[in-house]
Structure 1
Amino acid sequence: MATEVLVPTLGESITEATVGEWLKQPGEAVAADEPIASLETDKVSVEVPSPVAGVMGQHAVKVGDTVEVGALIATIESGDGAAAASASPAPAPAASAPQAAAASGAPVAGGYGNHGETPVTTNAPAALSPSVRRAVLEHGVDPSTVKGTGKDGRLTKEDVAAAASTKPAEASAAPAPQGAAAATSGGRKEERVKMTRLRQTIAKRLKEAQNSAAMLTTFNDVDMTAVIEARAKYKDLFEKKHGVRLGFMGFFVKAATMALKDIPSVNASIEGDEIVYHDYADISVAVSAPNGLVVPVIRDAQELSVAGIEKTIGDFGKRAKDGTLKMDEMKGGTFTISNGGVFGSLMSTPIINPPQSAVLGLHRIEERPVVRDGQVVVRPMMYLALSYDHRLIDGREAVTFLVALKNAIEDPTRILIDL
């Protein structure tokens, strides 16, 4: 008897999702609570677990389909998978599997059907994580031809990169995959890839922020000498005691919570004709995920130590790459910090994350000549950028906030004594 697998509740106000990939194929054995599919929502990827143990039945939807909460997506048959696997037809050779899937209209794991992405065959050695799937698409590697070195034989990003670097030269002359239309016969090609639901939501929210807020950005720079020296002096002891590396974000988040307490309007938001002030600092931290930036929230950051902040950020970063961040961890937030410096950004004007009223942009550390006590010296400097909603925050308050942050970073003792 077949058991239906339905789209689970995805979170408050979220009624639908997009099928990102199938983690189990028809005929494969499935354990109870084992993930069988990945759904992409407006914020994060959600894995759908099997309600019972048995054999994966038929997929009711394809990769790229939009499904509503409660909709049927698959069935689980009774059995252990051995009989079903032996009864199922043998898979086509690796070279022809993508074309066969495209011709039959069957779902192709890790892609969006016939939209120009490099097809990923369903006879891959193991289910692909979102980060590996992205690497497969970027490098154009057939995962069925790559031996995985990860747990249980799973592919890693390093496996995909190594396979891409050893591809024969003639592979570059192979015909473009179905859906990638060549603009001319001279090798100029175009590829159309469907936007993920996360990317669509990012685009919508950023444009809404520009349309609704009176955004302005003010800048300052900060001498990172003291923080760099403190980090170099204590990083080994810090990691030994707390089990996490000492980075710069812990200092900046802690300094930001102190500045937000002094300048409460930067931590406020507008709701209708009212201003909502928060006596807590829920700091949204932008971290990189396979499908774009996501912004999990450090709750009550003002109560955490630098070590507690670093542990939380490290956990967020790891789970963002694995696609396992939870919906509740993405909600709320009163202020955002985005660190473009890890990608080499020298200066930028970050966009507010509504309904918040301000966002702090951090940038790369660069040695520059500055004047100290009448002498020109070289210091490791970083530009800070605060974008804010001018409807709520005046220029004086924005500048005062940045100066308070600058003072705390240039003299970390202020963080210790809450000055």
Structure 2
Amino acid sequence: MADVRVPTLGESVTEATIATWFKQPGDSVAVDEMLCELETDKVTVEVPSPVAGTLGEIVAAEGETVGVDALLAVISEGGEATAAPAKKDAPAEAKADAKPADNTAKPAEGGEDVPVMVPALGESVTEATVATWFKAEGDEVAMDEMLCELETDKVSVEVPAPAAGILTKVYANDGETVEAGAKLALISAGAGNGAAKSDTQAVAATADPKITSDGMKNAPSAEKLMAEKGLTADQITGTGRDGRIMKEDVLKAEASGGASKPAAATPPRAAASAPVAADQAGREERVKMTRLRQTIARRLKDSQNTAAMLTTYNEVDMTEVMALRNEYKDLFLKKHGVKLGFMSFFTKACNHALKEVPEVNAEIDGTEIVYKNYVNMGIAAGTPTGLVVPVVKDADSMSFAAIEKEIARLGGLARDGKLSMADMQGGSFTISNGGVYGSLMSSPILNPPQSGILGMHKIQDRPMAINGEVVIRPMMYLALSYDHRIVDGKGAVTFLVRVKEALEDPRRLLMDL
């Protein structure tokens, strides 16, 4: 007999919840085959089988909370089963769906029921919203045909059909929230006439420009957005399965300047609109917030409700930084293959200031202050789908070139919607550059649990009194928002002054002054 126990969950994490069991008592398991999935506050943890054999008793059922090293199940060691065989009395798929609610979904023409499950959504992402169903109950589906589209906090996920047959039951409708590993629908495999459907799709593809060569349409949400933005399919590169155009592809095309004149007389989406007065009909539209927008809204409001947030301001003369950049930008590009921007200067200046005022780089955990002996610099970036904050890890040990390269890499992933959760976790301080949009001054909101965020703004020529004379200088307003629970006013002002000094005389960064 071999015990299956809860593995180490990470620093300061002491318990987890059983999310899903992928095996049942009596099932054969192979070494390292995934048995179940645990959820913690931060991540999702997979539990593999320590030995090959047969799964005996399951001690902790789905939904239960367990501590580190707690007993989850027991395995009877046996033959080297490379794959778990189906039970003699029922197919494995049927066993997974043995619920009274499924009795209404009768297999057609003797077909076997195949569940459609929510796929893996990424590390620490545990749920998604059903955005659009492309098939309805009773429709015939082909293997790998796209059934629906899910939205998570960061990305959209396509769900293909695991088998050809008839879609007999839909468990989660548009707009509903589902967890990773949950059942979305049921397909009666082998039912219907797949060959006839393929012929029909081939004919339809030649008649409908919205249908791709494999007979599957672009995402309906993408079609609607193309109509609203005045875009056509030939202006957009699809990144979905088999080249289908997704909603993110349309947003990306619009952001890159590919939008033409808005389509004439585009009718409002009546299904998404709330009832309004007769004189307002067609002038308002009600659209459900995306999961990303909901997450942004929740985190920003939580930040305001939790932190004692205060903002202090200063201004910096950018003359020396701009002169240094203009002098070396061509050599920098030639040697390092990346442009020399302002962000590396600001990152270096913040690294310098954080060493002197470490509480700005710390966070509150209960009744304790956690000081970070490193700087993971978050760089706030606007994307077509919302604000994201990718993190430059260990920025305090990086050169100007390394910082610029990492910012360029993360910026590209952000624009393409391909940032992973790992790219956006672990930040200790954040820089937000509203100046790229023309902002002259603003008060940035903290990115919890961080205690500080620096706001950069537009560089603007202004008359300044220098040594008794009025001269025109390129000036930028700086704003530091900080958590007053941990950072005192003296520390915040000192931090901002050190950033100002380093930027007005970049030689201080080289001399560590």
Question: For each residue in 1:95-153, what CA deviation from the matched residue of structure 2 results, as whole angstroms up to 9, or x when unmatched?
Answer: 9x9xxxxxxxxxxxxxxxxxxxxxxxxx986569xxx95x963861476x542353769
Structure 2 contact 230–259 (Cα < 8 Å) conserved: no
1:358 aligns with 2:452: yes
Percentage identity across paired residues of the two chains: 49
Structure 2 contact 147–161 (Cα < 8 Å) conserved: no
- Equivalent positions of 1:19-418 (< 5 A) are 19-20=130-131, 30=144, 39-42=150-153, 44-45=154-155, 47=157, 60=170, 61-73=172-184, 84-87=197-200, 126=218, 133=222, 137=225, 140-141=228-229, 146-148=233-235, 150=237, 157-158=252-253, 164-165=260-261, 167-168=263-264, 171=265, 174=267, 177-180=270-273, 181=275, 183-185=277-279, 189-418=283-512
Deviation of 1:348 (Å): 0.8
Change (3 A) 1:186 1:396: closer
Query: Structure 2 CA distance, aligned partners of 1:352 and 1:55?
Result: 50
Change (3 A) 1:74 1:326: farther
What TM-score results when the alignment is normalised by the length of structure 2? 0.64
Which residue matches 1:119?
none
Question: For each residue in 1:252-276, what CA deviation from the matched residue of structure 2 results, as whole angstroms up to 9, or x when unmatched?
Answer: 1111111111110110111111111
* DSSP-derived class of the 1:353 partner: coil
Change (3 A) 1:249 1:271: same
Q: Give the letter aligned to residue 249 of structure 1.
A: M
Q: Give the letter aligned to residue 140 of structure 1.
A: E
Change (3 A) 1:186 1:3: closer
* DSSP-derived class of the 2:326 partner: helix
Query: Structure 1 CA distance, aligned partners of 2:357 and 2:144?
Result: 54
Structure 2 contact 321–504 (Cα < 8 Å) conserved: yes
Task: Flag the structure with higher strand content.
Answer: 2
Question: For each residue in 1:365-412, what CA deviation from the matched residue of structure 2 results, as whole angstroms up to 9, or x when unmatched?
Answer: 111111111111111111110011111111111011001111111112
Question: For each residue in 1:295-317, what CA deviation from the matched residue of structure 2 results, as whole angstroms up to 9, or x when unmatched?
Answer: 12111111111211112222222
Which residue matches 1:112?
none
Deviation of 1:94 (Å): 7.4
Query: Structure 2 CA distance, aligned partners of 1:405 and 1:136?
Result: 47
Structure 2 contact 228–262 (Cα < 8 Å) conserved: no
Structure 1 contact 27–85 (Cα < 8 Å) conserved: no
Query: Structure 2 CA distance, aligned partners of 1:233 and 1:136?
Result: 48
* DSSP-derived class of the 2:286 partner: coil
Query: Structure 1 CA distance, aligned partners of 2:134 and 2:399?
Result: 39
Deviation of 1:12 (Å): 5.8
Which has the larger Rg?
2
Structure 1 contact 252–409 (Cα < 8 Å) conserved: yes
Query: Structure 2 CA distance, aligned partners of 1:256 and 1:224?
Result: 15
Change (3 A) 1:305 1:409: same
Question: For each residue in 1:9-48, what CA deviation from the matched residue of structure 2 results, as whole angstroms up to 9, or x when unmatched?
Answer: 44565421123468999857749xxx98764333x21646
Structure 2 contact 230–261 (Cα < 8 Å) conserved: no
Change (3 A) 1:321 1:277: same
Structure 1 contact 245–310 (Cα < 8 Å) conserved: yes
Query: Structure 1 CA distance, aligned partners of 2:443 and 2:345?
Result: 21
CA RMSD after TM alignment: 3.9
Query: Structure 2 CA distance, aligned partners of 1:370 and 1:314?
Result: 34
* DSSP-derived class of the 2:351 partner: helix
Q: In structure 1, list runs of 5 or more residues that go unmatched.
A: 98-122
Which residue matches 1:16?
127
Structure 2 contact 292–385 (Cα < 8 Å) conserved: yes
Query: Structure 2 CA distance, aligned partners of 1:125 and 1:159?
Result: 21
* DSSP-derived class of the 1:245 partner: coil
Deviation of 1:56 (Å): 9.9
Structure 1 contact 286–338 (Cα < 8 Å) conserved: yes
- Aligned residue pairs: how many? 379
Deviation of 1:89 (Å): 10
* DSSP-derived class of the 1:140 partner: helix
Change (3 A) 1:351 1:166: closer
> Which region of structure 1 is more displaced relative to structure 2, 252-261 or 409-418?
409-418
Structure 1 contact 220–402 (Cα < 8 Å) conserved: yes
Question: For each residue in 1:197-248, what CA deviation from the matched residue of structure 2 results, as whole angstroms up to 9, or x when unmatched?
Answer: 1211222221221122111100000111111122222222322332222211
* DSSP-derived class of the 2:373 partner: coil
Question: For each residue in 1:61-105, what CA deviation from the matched residue of structure 2 results, as whole angstroms up to 9, or x when unmatched?
Answer: 555332111113468979xx976432459769979x9xxxxxxxx
Query: Structure 2 CA distance, aligned partners of 1:298 and 1:386?
Result: 19
Task: Flag the structure with higher helix content.
Answer: 1
Query: Structure 1 CA distance, aligned partners of 2:234 and 2:131?
Result: 23
Structure 2 contact 230–263 (Cα < 8 Å) conserved: no
Structure 1 contact 288–294 (Cα < 8 Å) conserved: yes
Change (3 A) 1:356 1:71: same
